[in-house]
Structure 1
Amino acid sequence: MKEHKCHLSSHQGYRAKKIAENLAKGSEMDQYNKLSQYINEIERSNPGSIVIMKLVDNYCDAVTGQGKFQRLYMCFAWVKQGFLAAYRLVFGVDGTILKGSAGGVLLTAIGVDANNGMYPIAYAATKGETKDSWIWFLTLLKEDLKIGRDYEWTIMSDKQKGICEVVFSNATHRFCVKHMHSNMSSAGFKGAAIRKALWKAAKATTPIQFRRRMEAIAELDTEAAKWLDDKDPAEWSRSHFSTYPKCDMLLNNICESFNNKILDAREE
């Protein structure tokens, strides 16, 4: 600005940057018009992949004659086959915000491989994180993985238990203990002692050990113990976990790690 004797506000700089990005990459909105071509190319180059796009019902643009994007589900064939070949009967679900100009939310299902590593299974881009969009995503996922005996499966989530139960009615639902502690703090039960006692109860490996550690929480705060009594221990303590998935994870870190890995892409 000193060299050219001009003033540039941050808003002007932002708009200039967007113009340059659109010239270099194309408008983000224009990319939605190419989704049909993109889907056809995926189905051609990755046979067996499932890509489903849903448009807004009863909407047609007066100029282009095209529908309006609502949701997109995607599961690549070899990713799915790899998961089904050597998988644990557990996956986490989470939603993360897409920060581009079009906005929206990315719903993800992340599995756990034989080495307890992160294994992305499927994802869906939606206009918003609603009950309807979650049910749509989970229904397609269940059909895609051909899950018949859902009682064998465990689903890890932060707050989607009620929604998961609609589709996976017989599955075991597990809560992230970190998020449960945040909810506990919001309810007024704070402090390092309560936090440590909660984690000890979560890490208990037998019902007797769990009961003793719950008694220790009651000695610290009887109301905190009552708050936890409303939570099924099968959802947050190893002492009551189902043995089907052969996985004792207490955190939804697989989804959090995936969201961090795609941070740059979410900014686009």
Structure 2
Amino acid sequence: MAKFGIQVSMGQCRRAKKYALKLVEGSLVEHYGKLWSYGHEILRTNPGSTMKLEMEDGFCKGELLCAIGSDANDKIYPIAWAVVNVENKQNWKWFLELLIDDLNLNLGNGFSLMSDQHKNLKKRFTGAIYHTLFWRASKATTEHDFKVVMKEIETLNPDAHQYLMEKDPKTWSIASFKLEGVVMQLKMGSQKVFNIVIVDAKKKPVIIMLEELRLYMMDKIYNKKLKG
């Protein structure tokens, strides 16, 4: 009696899935070709929104930049997002300048922005002890407590101590903030929570990703209004 069998490799499965998704969602080239039309449609159907589109020759998978705030119920509230070719200081500066202008923050006096760039420390210096000491230093409320923790870091690894001091403690340590007339609100997990929400969207082509972000926000705002 003859026997028949079909052997399919994991590589073939991945290629088949990629091909099927391309048929359904479109290619990266197709999405970039539609961005101008998509941008105009966003402005037409979402009055009061801000949309900026600056494109150079070629295309890339892109990096997603997000600004996350807190609503009146102390829940995460995405304020703005952008897709850039690479995450660097120049693109963050462009993004934050647009945010400042859009929210009428003038020179930004009285506002504090926190980023999740502490991840760079984890990439340079591996080990849970660095993570623990960094957060102890960032949360220290007095100069004395801050120096005590930083001395521990220096004893553990002088390079890690130098790296943190070069980042200027005024930008990441409560003990170095100017708190006159300011209400401090330290949110460690907002960006992490938002990343969990959009983890699947970030894997999709640019327009589908942007649409899923927009629909997420529309649904969030609508449900808040119903609840209110």
Name the CA distance, whole Å, in 2 between partners of 1:237 and 1:145: 26
C-alpha displacement of 1:201: 4.6
Name the CA distance, whole Å, in 1 between partners of 2:14 and 2:132: 46
Name the CA distance, whole Å, in 1 between partners of 2:4 and 2:32: 39
SS of match in other structure, 1:111:
strand
Give the equivalent residue in structure 2 for 1:262. Answer: 198
Name the CA distance, whole Å, in 2 between partners of 1:25 and 1:264: 14
- 1:35/1:45 CA distance change after superposition, 3 Å: same
Q: Give matches, 1:134-173, under 5 Å.
A: 134-159=92-117
| Larger CA deviation: 21-30 vs 35-44 | 21-30
Q: What stretches of structure 1 of length at least 5 have no aligned partner?
A: 60-67, 70-101, 160-175
Give the equivalent residue in structure 2 for 1:109. Answer: 67
C-alpha displacement of 1:113: 2.7
C-alpha displacement of 1:156: 0.9
C-alpha displacement of 1:221: 6.7
Q: Give matches, 1:209-224, under 5 Å.
A: 210-212=143-145, 214-215=147-148, 218=151, 223=155
C-alpha displacement of 1:258: 1.3
Give the equivalent residue in structure 2 for 1:21. Answer: 21
Percent identity, aligned pairs only, is 33
> Any conservation in 2 of the 1:107–1:123 contact (CA below 8 Å)?
yes
Alignment partner of 2:88 out of 108, 126, 130: 130
Higher strand proportion (structure 1 or 2): 1
SS of match in other structure, 1:143:
helix
Q: Name the aligned partner's letter for residue 50 of structure 1.
A: T
Give the equivalent residue in structure 1 for 2:219. Answer: none
C-alpha displacement of 1:144: 1.3
Query: Cα RMSD over matched residues?
Result: 3.4
Name the CA distance, whole Å, in 2 between partners of 1:266 and 1:242: 36
Q: Deviations over 1:125-151 (max 9, x none)?
A: 122223332222222222211221412
Q: Give matches, 1:25-104, under 5 Å.
A: 25-56=25-56, 59=57, 68-69=58-59, 103-104=61-62
C-alpha displacement of 1:239: 3.6
SS of match in other structure, 2:113:
strand
Higher helix proportion (structure 1 or 2): 2
Q: Name the aligned partner's letter for residue 105 of structure 1.
A: E
Q: Name the aligned partner's letter for residue 174 of structure 2.
A: R
Give the equivalent residue in structure 2 for 1:166. Answer: none
Name the CA distance, whole Å, in 2 between partners of 1:140 and 1:50: 9
Q: Name the aligned partner's letter for residue 98 of structure 2.
A: L
TM-score normalised by L of structure 2: 0.68
TM-score normalised by L of structure 1: 0.59
Give the equivalent residue in structure 2 for 1:249. Answer: 186
Name the CA distance, whole Å, in 2 between partners of 1:222 and 1:15: 49
